[in-house]
């Protein structure tokens, strides 16, 4: 499939150029299965999308796992920017929510 003309915009003062469209990944892993999720990611990259939006709570973490597996399979990690939100509660512990360094790094 040929790459289509995607518009790109500067992301603030970061110097990064990101696609006008972003692939949201909340449904990857639930209800969207692995195979279909891989197809969605590959199609987005082929269309010129270079940013994926995720969060550590999406599908109980399955969304991030699927993204990692898809990018390992298609060898396209260097072609895109991944975002992830980390504020929401992901466990019962006192540090399993929020924007603390401990919570953010603990999710890696």
Q: Which residues are catalytic?
A: 58
Q: Report helix angle 34-46 to 62-74, nearest 10.
A: 60
Exposed, middle or buried by CB within 10 Å (0-12, 13-18, 19+), for 62? middle
The answer to whether residues 88 and 101 touch, using CB atoms and an 8 Å cutoff, is no
User: Pick from 61, 69, 70: which is nearest to 43 by CA?
Assistant: 70
Distance CA 67, CA 102 (A): 23
């Amino acid at each position: 499939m040929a790459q289509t003309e995607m518009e790109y915009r500067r992301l603030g003062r970061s110097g990064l150029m990101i696609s006008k469209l972003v692939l949201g990944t909340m449904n990857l892993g639930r209800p969207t299965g692995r195979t279909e999720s891989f197809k969605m990611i590959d199609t987005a990259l082929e269309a010129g999308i270079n940013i994926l939006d995720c969060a550590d709570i999406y599908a109980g973490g399955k969304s991030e796992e699927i993204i990692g597996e898809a990018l390992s399979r298609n060898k396209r990690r260097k072609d895109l920017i991944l975002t992830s939100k980390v504020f929401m509660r992901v466990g019962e512990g006192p540090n399993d929510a929020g924007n603390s360094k401990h919570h953010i790094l603990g999710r890696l």
